[in-house]
Amino acid sequence: MEIAHPYLLFLGDVHDALAAKTAIGIVDWRKDWCLGQVRLDGCAADTGLPDVSIVEGASKGAKTMVIGAVNAGGRLPDHWITSIVEALDAGLDVASGLHVRLASIDAIREAAERNGKALHDVRHNSETFATGKGTKRTGKRILTVGTDCSVGKKYTALAMDKAMNDRGFSSSFCATGQTGVFISGRGIALDAVVADFIAGAAEWLSPDSEENHWQVVEGQGSLFHPSFAGVSMGLLHGSQPDAFIVCHEPTRTKMRGVETPLPTIRQVIDMTIQCGKLTNPDIQCIGIAVNTAALDEDEAWAYLAKIGEEFGLPATDPVRFGIDVMVDKISAEYGAP
């Protein structure tokens, strides 16, 4: 799907910042695409954007109102429907990352039809994908993989794409989750693709390109996670990466939401190479991205130095310390732009 920007971010009346993580993620990476935020009475989240009404946002040039808030179960609260209808009547498309389909709500569907506006259910898609073929494609690809879920795969891929472009590489970000789609303006939420077609969807997302163009693919789940390994494997085979970055959170002992012990970085590197060789025999690890938010600065630097030496790879926290060391690795292994 292609989502038009500038965005107007709808936060509803959520009670904390975590519930607005989609909107906050968009602002972190695409603030220049955002014109303002719409908050209802009682909203405790704040992206730092100007507060505007829906009509004001439309008059300033917004193209899409993004529902940037989430809740348990991905439901759409009944009292948000009025705001969504108002946005459609003001001439905006509406995009949502919730599980509920916008068009399943009569008032929203009717407003979209009478105004000729688009409804984007980012968690879902209408594209028909082929099964994966594993045929070699032109261009180059980087995939972020994880020792667990929610360890920074999206932020690492975004940071890598930005740093590579800043250094003169030809690079693009390939979104595979709903927040990434909002940030990119296009992409696929792979967790909503039927299992047989995940690899094919990843191939569709990262097609043939110029030989020196890099597609930086947002990772999902973990090959070691009992809940999500299927998505991770399909994405690995379909994205056919030349290079991958392992993302890790050093304080965890169990995988998120289950009792399974966390795998080691070495296990993730070895498994990713073993499985990734099916579609790219030349796959290699080019670095380790560590989410050091739970460590103080001295602890973070010490940990990065330790694992960098252990694996002979660049190690950094892309958000805290930047990711230039991994761009240096790309230059050394594949040539400067």
**CA-CA distances (angstroms) from residue 326 to 73, 140, 161, 240, 287?**
37, 15, 11, 19, 6
Which pLDDT value is given to residue 182? 87
Which pLDDT value is given to residue 17? 85
Query: The tokens 């792979």 sit on which residue?
Result: 190
Which pLDDT value is given to residue 74? 67
Query: Whole-angstrom Cα distance, residue 228 to residue 222?
Result: 6
Instruction: Find, among 159, 93, 155, the residue nearest to 120 by Cα.
Output: 93
Which pLDDT value is given to residue 285? 98
172: which strand partners?
Answer: 215
Which pLDDT value is given to residue 73? 57
The answer to whether the beta carbons of residues 199 and 132 sit under 8 Å apart is yes
Query: Whole-angstrom Cα distance, residue 231 to residue 223?
Result: 8
Query: Whole-angstrom Cα distance, residue 146 to residue 156?
Result: 11
Query: Whole-angstrom Cα distance, residue 192 to residue 261?
Result: 26
Which pLDDT value is given to residue 227? 92
Q: For residue 209, what are its two tokens?
A: 């390109």
Instruction: Find, among 265, 276, 10, the residue nearest to 148 by Cα.
Output: 265
Which pLDDT value is given to residue 124? 84
Domains of the chain: 7-121 (3.40.50.720), 140-334 (3.40.50.300)
Name the 3-class secondary structure at 173. strand
Query: Whole-angstrom Cα distance, residue 65 to residue 77?
Result: 16
Backbone angles phi, psi at 296, to 5 degrees: -75, 175
Q: For residue 213, what are its two tokens?
A: 């163009």
Name the 3-class secondary structure at 315. strand
Query: Whole-angstrom Cα distance, residue 191 to residue 188?
Result: 9
Query: Whole-angstrom Cα distance, residue 123 to residue 129?
Result: 16
Query: Whole-angstrom Cα distance, residue 21 to residue 33?
Result: 17
pLDDT means per 10 residues in the chain (337 residues)? 90 89 91 96 96 98 94 80 98 92 96 97 86 97 96 95 97 93 87 93 97 97 95 98 98 93 97 98 98 96 98 97 98 95
**Considering the entire predicted model, what is its pTM?**
0.85
